[in-house]
Amino acid sequence: MYKIPAKTLFTGQNLIFRPECRSTNTYLMELGDVSEGTVVITADQTSGRGQRGNAWSSEKGKNITASILFKPGFLLAKNQFWLTMVASLAVRDTLFEFDLSAKIKWPNDIMVDEKKICGILIENQLTGSSISKSVVGIGLNVNQEKFNLEKVTSVYQQIGREASLQEILDLVLEKLEARYLQLRQNKNDQLKEEYLKSLYWLNELHTFSNQQGMLIGIIQGVDELGRLVIDCEKERKIFDLKEIVFVK
């Protein structure tokens, strides 16, 4: 069970806790007309969904698996990347409260110590050309001690002790609301500047792969559609989601 956060205006004020749930994103998307800021959170997500059609697994009772509903009718579908910035920065801000310096691996994997600590899945519903409903799904590894994959970590592994799931949920919701309000108040430049400051591999020479093979280049940032901009040896290249893999 979770308590309603004390410090938000609307985010989490309608808080739905399910002891078990297939996917909080699916559950919230299918919930019908609920208020902006509604949160669905579960202790046991049995069919969690990740980006690119992957599954998201999380040990029962150990981590945050939650989805938050926004109604950003002011945002055009082509500008949906701003929600990615909002959500990634909110998780980064939360981890900062635990003295963890997180990086955002484009588009929205949150990394600490070169390992993934949080995944974000944002699913939007459109009305005409604007976003009427946005479900922001957050899978944040908190107290899980062991993972099957090598490049994954948790708050527990990073700070060496258990953290309170309630405290982390409160922080995530506060930070998310603050970042969302920044967007709603057109403080886009500020959001983008902070997103870029935290971008993993920014201005560093690295190897990537795409359908054509390997390429070496330097991430310069993201364009107005949120695509990744990489300067390769001879030319500047722009990549959409699913078009590029980070190698080393």
Least distance in Å: CB of 231 to ligand BTN? 26
In 3D space, the residue among 112, 116, 124, 51 whose CA is nearest the CA of residue 83 turns out to be 124
Q: Does 139 bind ligand BTN (CB under 6 A)?
A: yes
Task: Please tell me whether the peptide bond between 107 and the residue prior to it is cis, using omega within 30 degrees of 0.
Answer: yes
> Chain centroid to CA 30: how far?
20
Q: By CB under 6 A, which span of 61-69, 79-87, 150-158, 228-236 interacts with ligand BTN?
A: 61-69
Least distance in Å: CB of 138 to ligand BTN? 6
Q: By CB under 6 A, which span of 89-97, 117-125, 221-229, 236-244 interacts with ligand BTN?
A: 117-125
Q: Does 5 bind ligand BTN (CB under 6 A)?
A: no
For residue 173, the SS3 value is helix
Least distance in Å: CB of 63 to ligand BTN? 8
Please select the residue that binds ligand BTN; options are 67, 141, 153, 198, rule is CB under 6 A: 67
Q: By CB under 6 A, which span of 20-28, 93-101, 149-157, 190-198 interacts with ligand BTN?
A: 20-28
145-148: long-range contacts (C-beta < 8 A, 24 or more apart)? none
In 3D space, the residue among 21, 59, 65, 17 whose CA is nearest the CA of residue 143 turns out to be 59
The Cα 140–Cα 25 span in angstroms is 14
Amino acid (1-letter code) at residue 106: W
Least distance in Å: CB of 20 to ligand BTN? 13
Sheet with 205-210: strands ordered across: 236-239, 228-232, 213-222, 205-210, 245-246
Site for ligand BTN in 34-53 (CB under 6 A): 45, 48-51
The site for ligand BTN (CB under 6 A) is made up of 23-25, 45, 48-51, 54, 56, 65-67, 109, 119-121, 137-139
